[in-house]
Structure 1
Amino acid sequence: MHDARAGLEPVDPERATAAREAIPRARHIVVKIGSNVLLGHGRSRLDRRVFCDLVHHLAAALDDSGRRIVLVSSGAVALGRRTLAASAVPPPGPETSLTDKQALAALGQPALMHEWAVEFAHHDRRVAQILMSRDDFHVRERFLNARRTLRRLLSFPDVLPILNENDTLSWEELRLGDNDHLAALTTTLVEADLLVLLSDVSALHDADPREHPEARPIPVAFADDPALQTLCAPPDRNGVGTGGMRSKVDAARSAAAFGVPTVIASGKDPGVLAAVLAGQPAGTLLVPREQRLSARKAWLRFGRRAEGALRVDDGAVRALRHQGRSLLPRGITHVEGQFEPGAAVDIIAPDGTGVARGLAAYGSDDLRRIAGHHSDDIASLLGFSAGSAAVHRDDLVVENVG
C-alpha cells in the first residue's frame, strides 16, 4: 500500500471498496462544515460561491428518497466578529477571552442561521436550529430527549436540522471539545450511517502538505490507526477554526466506535459533497474496525463524562478484555475520585492504559472498602449488597486494543 511510509496499517482493498460502495446507500448522514470552509479569504464574511454550492448539494441530497441529513455548522464566532465590525464598536482580536468569544457567538449565531435559512428557502427547504451542550450527551435523560427531538425533525422531509454547540453558555472553553466532536456524538443521536467532515484540506496526507510538497493523500485507513495521530498538524493558528486535523481524526475514531465510517474532504471543492455521497474516491475514507455499538453503550463510551477511575490488576484486565466478564471488587487495586453509584468510571490497567468505561454499581467510598475482596464479603463489609460486580458487564464498554 502506498501509505506504508506513514506507518499506517493497510486496509484490505476489498474492504475499502465495499465501504465506498456502501456510502450511496447511507440513509442517515451527519455533515459537519468548518469555519474555514464557509468563510472567504478575509475570514470575516461568507465565501458565497462555496456556501451556495454546499446548500445546492445538501438540498439535492435530501431529494433522495428516504435520505436524511443533520448539519453541524461552525462559523458563529467569525460572523459575530463581522457583525460587531459593522458597528461603531471595534471587535475583539483573534486571541480573545472566553467571555469575548461567547459574546461573539451570541452575535453571530442568529446571522449564521439567517444565512442558512435564506439560502435553503431557494430550494424549498426549511432549517431547524439545535444548540447542544456537553450535558445534553452526559445526562441520559437529556440525551434521549435530544434524540426524540432530532428524530421528529428528521421525519419532516423538507427540514434540515442544523446543530452547533451552545457556545454562549459554555463553561469549558468553546468546545464540547469542538464541532468535530459534536458531529461524532451526533452520529449516535441519529443512528447515522455516515459522517462527513468538510474542511479546507482535500484529504489526510502522509505528511503535512504545507511543509512537504511531495506529500500524498491517504485514500483510506482504519479510523483507530494510532499512526494517524502522528500525521495530524495542530489547529491552524492563523485561521478561524478550532478543530484542526487531529480533532477530525479523533471524531472519526469516535464515530467508528459506533460502526460509522467517516469521510474527510475539502468543502471548498465544487461538487465535493455530491461526489462523497455518490461513493466516489473524494478525500480520505476512515473505516471502522469494530461492529456498531448499541446506542446505550455508544452514549456510555463517548457521551458520558467519567467521574472517577478504578485501577485494576492484570487478572481483571484479562477478564474484561478477553472473557467479556464483569469487573469484580477483588480485581480493583485503587479507587480514584469521589462519585455516587451509577457514575461513569474509567477502568485503568496497571500500565496506565484504558481498559474500559462503565457505570459503577457502588459509590467510591464503598468501593474503597471492598476493593481487593471477594464478592461474597460485600455484605459483611458494607452491611448491604448491590450485587457481586463493581461494574456489571452490561454497563461496561471495553476499549478497542487493535
Structure 2
Amino acid sequence: MSVSHRQQVFAASQAVVVKIGTNALSRPDDTLDVDRIHRLAEQLWAIRATGRRVVVVSSGAVGAGIGLLKLKGRPRDLPHVQAAAAAGQARLIRAYDEALQVHGVHAAQILLTANDFKHRTRYLNVRNTLHTLFEYPVIPIVNENDTVSISEIKFGDNDRLAAMVASLIEKPLLIILSVVDGLLDGDPSDPAARPLRLVENLKAVESLAGSSKSSRGTGGMKSKLESVRMATHTGTNVIIADGRMDGVLDRVTAGEELGTLFLSRKESVPAWKRWIGYTVTPRGALRLDEGAVRAVVEKGRSLLAIGVTGVDGDFSKGELVSLFDPSGHEFARGLSNFDARTAASIAGKRTEQVIEALGAGAYQEVIHRDNLTVMG
C-alpha cells in the first residue's frame, strides 16, 4: 500500500464525514477536552478549504454532561442518560462553535433519531438541510438526539449514524476517529498486535473485532466494522484512526499511513438505492431459490414470483423486505409491490399465473429492479 494510493482516495472524494468518538473528546476525568476540539476544528477547516464538503458526526454529549453535572460515571438508567445528554449537548455544540469561529465558520447543529432515516420524506428533509448548509460558511455537527431517543428509534451508536450520514452525500470519505490506531491483527491486549493498514476484503478480517464496548461511549470495534460494511458496500472508502494523535486529520488527508483504510467494494451507489439497502429497517423477508438469486445478483433483473419460496413477516405493499438465498444469507433488500399475504399467495407462480390470480392490472414483478439493492 503506497502513500500515493491513500492520496488518490482523498483526491477522489468530494466530501469528508468525520466521526469523532466520545473517548477521543474526553479527558480522563470524563470532562470535555475543549483543547482537542480546537485542534480538530483547525484541521476540519483545512479540509473545507480544499473545496470539499465537511460534516462532523460527534459523540460526546453524554460525556460532556457527565462532567458538567459532576456525575461519578455514565448513568445506567435512560432518564439520567437523557438528562446528561441535554446538559452536555449545549456544552458540546458551544465548544465546536467557538473553535470554528476562529477560522471564520460556525457550527450548525443537527440532532437526529433513526426515524429521520426510516421515513423517506424525513430522510429527504435531512439530506436537503445538509446540502443547503453546504452553501454557507458553516460545518454541520451531527449527533443522535439522545434526549428523546429510546430503543425503538436509536441508531445503536454514532458509528452507524456516521455511515448513514455519509450515505446522504455524493462521493464521501468517512473518517472514524477513535482511541485505537485502526484494526489490529490480534488481541488489543497483546503488545505484539499491529494495526492493519489496508483492508480490501472486510469479511476476511471481521473475526479480528472483539465484542467489547468503549468505556464512555456505546461503540466498539465490532460496531465500527458493521458501519464500515455499510459504507463500503455503497461505494464509500473508510479510515479508522486514533483521534488523539496530533494533527490526525491533516496527516490522514495528506496520505500518511495512519489507522486502517477500508476500500469500498463497488462504485458509488445512487442515493435512492443507498436508502433502500442501508437505511430503512426491513419489515419482512422473502426466501428465494438459486435461480432467482442469480437473476437478481448476476443478471440485474427484477424479482419475479416464481423465484420466491417463502414469505416471512407482516408487511404492507411498498414496504422494505430482505431477500435471503437458500442458505439463509441476506443478500439484497427491496420495496415489495405486494403485501405479505398476497406475496405468499403467488410465491412460486409463473407470471401468467400471477396475472390470472390477481388480474391483468397486477404487477408482474414482486420487486422491480429500480427498487432493489444488492448488498453483497
TM-score, with structure 1 as normaliser: 0.89
Q: Identify the residue that residue 110 of structure 1 maps to in structure 2.
A: 90
Q: Higher mean Cα deviation, 97-106 or 296-305?
A: 97-106
1:136 to 116, 140, 164: 116
Letter of the structure 2 residue corresponding to residue 103 of structure 1: A
Q: CA deviation at 1:384?
A: 5.8
Letter of the structure 1 residue corresponding to residue 40 of structure 2: L
Distance in 1 (CA, whole Å) between partners of 2:231 and 2:183 is 17
Letter of the structure 1 residue corresponding to residue 59 of structure 2: S
2:207 to 216, 223, 230: 230
1:328 to 293, 299, 304: 304
Distance in 2 (CA, whole Å) between partners of 1:384 and 1:166 is 48
Report if aligned partners of 1:361, 1:386 keep a CA contact under 8 Å in 2. no
- Structure 1 runs not aligned, ≥5 long: 1-12, 86-90
Q: Higher mean Cα deviation, 158-167 or 91-100?
A: 91-100
Instruction: Provide the secondary structure at the position in 2 that maps to 1:255.
Output: helix
2:145 matched to 1:166?
Answer: yes
2:217 to 220, 224, 241: 241
Change (3 A) 1:260 1:325: same
Q: CA deviation at 1:131?
A: 0.8
Instruction: Provide the secondary structure at the position in 2 that maps to 1:189.
Output: coil
Q: Identify the residue that residue 100 of structure 2 maps to in structure 1.
A: 120
Q: CA deviation at 1:116?
A: 1.0
Distance in 1 (CA, whole Å) between partners of 2:334 and 2:256 is 39
Q: CA deviation at 1:302?
A: 0.5
2:348 matched to 1:372?
Answer: yes
Q: CA deviation at 1:268?
A: 0.3
Distance in 2 (CA, whole Å) between partners of 1:24 and 1:124 is 25
2:37 matched to 1:57?
Answer: no
Letter of the structure 1 residue corresponding to residue 179 of structure 2: D
Q: CA deviation at 1:325?
A: 1.5
Report if aligned partners of 1:378, 1:385 keep a CA contact under 8 Å in 2. no
Change (3 A) 1:100 1:19: same
Distance in 2 (CA, whole Å) between partners of 1:164 and 1:235 is 22
2:67 matched to 1:67?
Answer: no
Distance in 1 (CA, whole Å) between partners of 2:259 and 2:300 is 37
Report if aligned partners of 2:164, 2:278 keep a CA contact under 8 Å in 1. yes
- 1:259-317 deviations in Å (ceiling 9; x for gaps): 11111111100011101111221111110121211111111110111010011122212
Report if aligned partners of 2:115, 2:153 keep a CA contact under 8 Å in 1. no
Report if aligned partners of 2:82, 2:147 keep a CA contact under 8 Å in 1. yes
- Structure 2 runs not aligned, ≥5 long: none
Distance in 1 (CA, whole Å) between partners of 2:357 and 2:258 is 60
Distance in 2 (CA, whole Å) between partners of 1:235 and 1:50 is 25
Q: CA deviation at 1:48?
A: 3.7
Q: Identify the residue that residue 79 of structure 2 maps to in structure 1.
A: 99
Q: Identify the residue that residue 172 of structure 2 maps to in structure 1.
A: 193
Change (3 A) 1:269 1:246: same
Distance in 2 (CA, whole Å) between partners of 1:314 and 1:327 is 12
- 1:117-148 deviations in Å (ceiling 9; x for gaps): 12222222201000111122111111111111
Distance in 2 (CA, whole Å) between partners of 1:277 and 1:191 is 18
TM-score, with structure 2 as normaliser: 0.95
Change (3 A) 1:340 1:61: same
Q: How many residues align?
A: 376
Q: Identify the residue that residue 7 of structure 1 maps to in structure 2.
A: none
Q: CA deviation at 1:17?
A: 4.6
Instruction: Provide the secondary structure at the position in 2 that maps to 1:226.
Output: helix
- 1:24-83 deviations in Å (ceiling 9; x for gaps): 45331100100000001112x12244222111211222222x222000000111112222
Report if aligned partners of 1:228, 1:249 keep a CA contact under 8 Å in 2. no
Change (3 A) 1:323 1:61: closer
Distance in 2 (CA, whole Å) between partners of 1:48 and 1:149 is 27
Report if aligned partners of 1:203, 1:264 keep a CA contact under 8 Å in 2. yes
Q: CA deviation at 1:320?
A: 1.6
2:27 to 23, 33, 40: 40
Q: CA deviation at 1:94?
A: 2.9
Q: Identify the residue that residue 9 of structure 1 maps to in structure 2.
A: none
- 1:167-218 deviations in Å (ceiling 9; x for gaps): 1111217841211111111112122420000011112110123x21111111
Distance in 1 (CA, whole Å) between partners of 2:247 and 2:153 is 31
- Output aligned runs, 1:334-373, within 5 Å: 334-373=310-349
Q: Identify the residue that residue 208 of structure 1 maps to in structure 2.
A: 187
Report if aligned partners of 2:68, 2:88 keep a CA contact under 8 Å in 1. yes
Report if aligned partners of 1:101, 1:174 keep a CA contact under 8 Å in 2. no
Instruction: Provide the secondary structure at the position in 2 that maps to 1:72.
Output: strand
2:18 matched to 1:31?
Answer: yes
Distance in 1 (CA, whole Å) between partners of 2:338 and 2:12 is 44
Distance in 2 (CA, whole Å) between partners of 1:31 and 1:262 is 10
Letter of the structure 2 residue corresponding to residue 170 of structure 1: S
Distance in 2 (CA, whole Å) between partners of 1:320 and 1:248 is 29
Distance in 2 (CA, whole Å) between partners of 1:361 and 1:221 is 38
Q: Higher mean Cα deviation, 292-301 or 17-26?
A: 17-26
Q: CA deviation at 1:319?
A: 1.5
Report sequence identity in percent. Answer: 39
Report if aligned partners of 1:30, 1:72 keep a CA contact under 8 Å in 2. yes
